[in-house]
Amino acid sequence: MQDTQYTDIDYMEDNKDFTYDMVKFKDLPQFADYMHEQGQKYILILDPAIAISKRINGTYESYDRGTEVEAWVTEADGTTPLVGEVWPGATVFPDYTKRSCIDWWVDEIERFYKEVKHDAIWIDMNEVSSFVQGSSKGCADNKLNYPPFTPKILDDLIYSKTLCMDAKQAWGNHYDVHSLYGYSMVLATDEAVKKVFGNNRSFILTRSSFPGVGKYSGHWLGDNAANWNDIKWAIPGMLEFSLFGVPYIGADICGFFDDVTEELCRRWMQVGAFYPFSRNHNAQYYKPQDPAAFGADSLLVKTSKHHLSIRYTLLPYLYTLFYKAHVNGDTVVRPVMHEFYSDSATWTVDRQFLWGAHLLITPVLDAGVDTVKAYIPDAVWYNYETEEKITERKQQVDMYLPADKLGLHIRGGAILPIQRPAVTTTHSRLSPMGLIIALDDNNEASGELFWDDGESRDTVSSGAYIHYKFSVVYGVLTMQVQHNGYVDPNNLVFENITVLGLSSPPTAVSITEGSSVVAVPEFNIQYDSLKKVLYLRGLSMELGKSYTVTWSSVISDFERIDCYPEDGSDEAKCSSRGCIWQPTNLNGVPWCYFPQDYGYIAEPVTETPTGWSFNIVRNTKYPAPRAASRDIDTLQVEITYLSAHSLRFKIYDPANKRYEVPVPLTLPSDPSVPENRRMYRVQVTQQPFGIQVIRNSTGTVIWDSSLPGFTFSDMFIQVSTRLPSQYIYGFGETEHASFRHDLNWHTWGMFSKDQPPGYKMNCYGVHPFYMGLEPTAHAHGVLLLNSNAMDVTLQPTPALTYRTIGGILDFYMVMGPTPELVVQEYTEMIGRPVLPAYWSLGFQLCRYGYANDTEIAELYRDMKSAGIPYDVQYADIDYMERQLDFTLGKDFQGLPALVESMRAEKMRFIFILDPAISGNETEPYPAFEHGVEDDVFIKWPAHLGDGIVWGKVWPDFPNVDVDESLDWDTQVEIYRSYTAFPDFFRNHTATWWHREISDFYTNTMKFDGIWIDMNEPASFVHGTVGGKCLGDDIYENPPYMPPLESKHEGLNHKTLCMNSEQFLPGGTPVKHYDVHNLYGWSHTKPTYDALLNVTGARGIVVTRSTYPTSGQWAGHWLGDNNASWDQLYKSIIGMLEFSLFGISYTGADICGFFSEAEYEMCLRWMQLGAFYPYSRNHNGKGNKRQDPVAWDAPFAEASRDVLNIRYTLLPYLYTLMYEAHAEGSTVVRPLLHEFVNDKVTWDIHRQFLWGPALLISPALEKGETVVSAYVPNARWYDYHTARALDVRGQFVNMPTPLNKINLHVRGGHILPWQKPENNTFYSRKNPLGLIVALGDDGTARGSLFWDDGEGIDTDKSGQYLLLSFSVFKKTLTSTLLQNGLDPADRLRLGHVRVWGTGSIPITKVSINYPGESGFLPNFYHDAVTEELVIDTTSGPYFVDQHFTISWSTGL
């Protein structure tokens, strides 16, 4: 196998560049043509030194032309060409830093190419080398040639074997640029190859290098020798050049100098087959050492052919590694420690190396040896030759490597693309492809393939390539095309797949493409039971298409749908349900699972233009699984096409009215949609009944419920669906450790509860909504509108199982197709997020445990003194008399006056209200008395006594002194008052609630917002006082209990009895069992309506318990979190999830509610919390204060700095809030919403965006001062410096000292801003600035929404300003979209900061404004940061007028 033939300087006439010897190499042009006919390549050498002597038959024209353009390095006089001596004799040296020289060099190469057709250029002697010291004249005695200090270099002479240091080049003295000579030659040669070879990629090979040269050239390790030391040294040499960013690297195989022995050359050919640059090369006058020189039947030839055949087989893998090096900067030849850094044993391994992450090469590097000491890192490894798994790991071994072998091992977890080898790459690229899959400990693997035409230039940037990602999870190989911009002319297919480490033979293998599933014939399937290897042969999967390949031996376990999700499963119980019992040793896999036909059977179905309607009947061959929950044998199915991008499917009992969720959704009034406009199509499977929803544009099945196990009974409903990928997000409210769900058999309960965040703990709200990503990077969303207690199980099939204990199945699906559109379409149904008051975007302070109003006053004074921006002060239940709503405690009698004084300084005040109302008062308590009169409290049903269902919450009995040293349960028993719970479904309850709020505002204390808590509803007793719930216990302890916190205590744990009765607005009675999860939802709108009516302003409501549609009226905080590092990062996940749920105004208690905060953690939390939409520092009673002025001066300063950034960007945040309110877009945004085609972003949850343009990358770990943050593929600017980042599409280590949070602005976007002040009232009066972050194409866009900040429904009445901004060709244009702004709220234009304007000085800035056009004199351009700052404050410019601002360089 040979692809390339080189010629060294022997081909030249007298060693002169751009000539060939017309005697010895007279047929060189014909030889080059012959090579090309055979599919091979020819590469020639060029040295920089140009002879000054004439050619044999006349003048040396290359020299003459160079002299004519003054192309040479000169002596110190800057005029006289410096003459040295190299191979041709007396020579001059091109000055490649000079434009005329570069043009000459390009021209000479182009001329010579017309004589001899070569394919690439090898440049040598470019250190620069000379055989005389300095020059033919010597070197002058000066400080450049004889500096005060000479490093330890050859001959201790700085111009030894090179040029005098006082020689002149365009870039400067040779003293300064000597080490750049090879680099400048590479740049000039790069220009030449681009011109000569045009669109063909070609390559350059250089001997001398400098940082950055790897972008243009490869490198060989120079003139080594044929000895065992140099074969060893080659590996560290390659590893070092990997660090230096030169991945195309190798050593001269078998050595350059000296005669080589057969053994040394044989071992070198083995390891050299795995050099990225693999070339056998030796010097003149030594014995030939190419493999053929040792004889056709020699062991050396045989082992060379064998290992080169392996190399050629693996070239698709190697080529993909070079793609990743080119795009991401990954290493190709990789030190073992790069993959196993935590194992210190790998730190000194330098006699082995990796190709990428997955191929370990262990050569023999000593004479007379057939056993080497090799280190096996901590992973599964397979012998490449034998395909067997080795048992050793994380240990040194004696590896036996006979004369014809080197060690070659594939790492478990790898998928290596391969191709059948041929004698050249030209011919091997015609051969079928394949995959080697090496399973890891989890039976998983992954890999990639990059493929283009192999030689065209810039295929990555032009998109003319194919990019696959491969993965194996649970016996399913996914071959997903990430990008397809190239059609291979050879009609390549994946022919063979080898799976290493498969523990058992498959019973069947199938290949899926789109909706087509084809079984692989048995004769194409082989399994080696000794090696544990599966061979799939004779496949024909076309390159460029996506496939899944499934082998059933493993997948069968992961296809199981759990038939006995309750505790205590055994074979007898399983069999009694008609299910299959089969133990397995795989974690999480159910032992009891449904048979394939378990479920319902669809009666004949017919599609109509608007959907489907038909019955399904239960397959009664199987017994009812739960005697206490009657199965419903006949069900009605209705599938409705709601719009082009949405549909609904509803399954219910047609014979008996069942509870349905009373939450109204906004659905199209006319749901008929022409088929050709729908983004989806629906199919129905008859047995087992199931619905498939298919995306029309891709054929992806995004919902497929034709799985066994569908159950519909009185108090238990279960349905499963396949998922299109492992990537789903959502389901809440539960703490999750990652944004993307782990599908490894996890079950999450949903039932609203007074439960702080914790693993697998059901928390305050319920959101049965998820967003799924598809392999094609499309997105969809699914809502199950059911309010009963439920759970979801996520399993690796991938599949999802819903279980709920009541109601009906009412699914809504939106089709996206982007993640952001999924949220917009979902909020179109459930209601757009509320538009909060502007002041509510300011920083806020709260604490449970303020002793009195004086403490609040002192806090306010200290915050003002520290100059920390701050808009809102809270009072928790401490302000109340004995924690009674609508009262004021004795220690807070001065609070109303304090609030008035704070509001006079434009601060705002929010107070807390709980729903529970004390009923044990000895003095008149109007809230309770009016509630009884108006019949607002939840009671028992009439047949159970019709009395109030009493609980206990925070209110204390009157006239008691609480001993807080007692245990909690004792305190509840002896101190807590009986409380009644309003039924907020009832219209007259809303009227009562409004009246009580109004009376408090009018008669007791003013406020601006309301914080509602404990509305799950929470109670400190279980069910009711005394613990005895009336009525049928089946509702307290249903036949199936989801995996809820304290599920053994029943559903009424820490809440009301499930038999309690409530009434819907129309008077329909419902059990609390059905509507428990809606209590907080029902509490929210009456509170929001009361706030707006009472205060006459927009304000904000913050609620703890939520349900779909709650976001229309309120924001949400993430509950009573803990002051711990894990809660810090999980708060990002919580916000991202609530963004999906349509609640934009969200955040966590900064620094944590429970436990005492630690200094570093609290400071990092202040930094992160400054970018919560709802930014509030709040902690619990008994803990030390944690507000910004509770620590020290550096803490206060860092808090002030980061909050000043928040306040600076509030116009941008407010605009995002408006866009969420108007369009349903997200405010806190996952990276995947903006960069969904980059699948790296699908797993990122430790960074987030504000809208599309501000990237927040916080420090989230103790002691972390460097954050590894992902920079998506776009132009980004450092917010702090205005400098553009020079990386994209990769992780970057960002220095993050304790006083910094990483912020980056995305190019192509415009962010409005204002100078910060101590609160938003004053910051809103400052001029409006713009940050204009130019994109790669010099354009940018943005918008501004502005109103009075608190008016009710200003967006509906038109009382607002809406602007769009754009930049094109160095002109910023403001376009007025709406102007109904009150004159009092007008904004002047301030400073415009334009980023990415380039380094050429900007000399002129002008404005075009109605009546005021001309030049703007006040601007500054920083050529280093490339920021242009334009100060418009001296002019009469208001932003509510159309204007343009232009800038120019004067060039």
Q: Catalytic site residues? A: 124, 223, 1013, 1016, 1120
Task: Please give the C-alpha separations between residue 784 and each of 502, 656, 769, in angstroms, as whole numbers.
Answer: 39, 21, 6
The number of angstroms, rounded, from the C-alpha of 1218 to the middle of its chain's C-alpha atoms is 26
Angle between helices 853-866 and 895-904 (to 10 degrees): 20
In order, the DSSP letters of 888-917 are --GGGTTHHHHHHHHHHTT-EEEEEE-S-E
Q: What is d(CA 935, CA 926) in angstroms, rounded to the nearest whole number?
A: 14
CB-based burial, 398-429: b 16+ in 10 Å, e otherwise: ebebeeebbbbbbbbbbbbbbbbbbbbbbbbb
Q: What is the 3-state secondary structure (H, E, C) of 972-994?
A: HHHHECCEECECCCCHHHHHHHH
Structure tokens at 693: 């929803």
Q: What is d(CA 858, CA 874) in angstroms, rounded to the nearest whole number?
A: 14
Within 10 angstroms of residue 1390's Cβ, the number of other Cβ atoms is: 21
Q: What is the 3-state secondary structure (H, E, C) of 533-558?
A: EEEECCCCEECCCCEEEEEHHHHHHH
Q: Are strands 611-618 and 600-602 parallel, antiparallel or unpaired?
A: antiparallel
Contact, 718 vs 735, CB < 8 A? no
Task: Please give the C-alpha separations between residue 465 and each of 379, 460, 462, 485, in angstroms, as whole numbers.
Answer: 32, 7, 8, 5
Tokens 């219910």 belong to which residue? 652
Contact, 1405 vs 1437, CB < 8 A? no
In order, the DSSP letters of 947-966 are -B--B--SPBPTT----TTS
Q: For the chain, count helices (H), then strands (E).
A: 29, 82
Q: What is d(CA 1104, CA 694) in angstroms, rounded to the nearest whole number?
A: 37
- Which residues, including other chains, have CB under 8 Å from residue 703's CB and lie 6 or more apart? 691, 692, 693, 721, 722, 782, 813
Alpha-carbon torsion 399, 405, 407, 408, what sign? negative
Measuring CA to CA, which residue among 741, 745, 746 is closest to residue 730? 741
The dihedral over CA atoms of 341, 344, 347, 352, expressed in degrees to the nearest 10, equals -90
What is the identity of the amino acid at 1394?
V
1082 in helix, strand or coil?
A: helix
Within 10 angstroms of residue 570's Cβ, the number of other Cβ atoms is: 12
Q: What is d(CA 244, CA 329) in angstroms, rounded to the nearest whole number?
A: 11
Measuring CA to CA, which residue among 356, 393, 358 is closest to residue 374? 393
Tokens 């789903």 belong to which residue? 728
Tokens 């969303």 belong to which residue? 781
Q: Are strands 1176-1179 and 1266-1271 parallel, antiparallel or unpaired?
A: unpaired
N residues, the chain: 1451
What is the identity of the amino acid at 719?
V
- What number of CA atoms fall less than 13 Å from residue 1031's CA on the CB side? 24
Q: What is d(CA 289, CA 1194) in angstroms, rounded to the nearest whole number?
A: 70
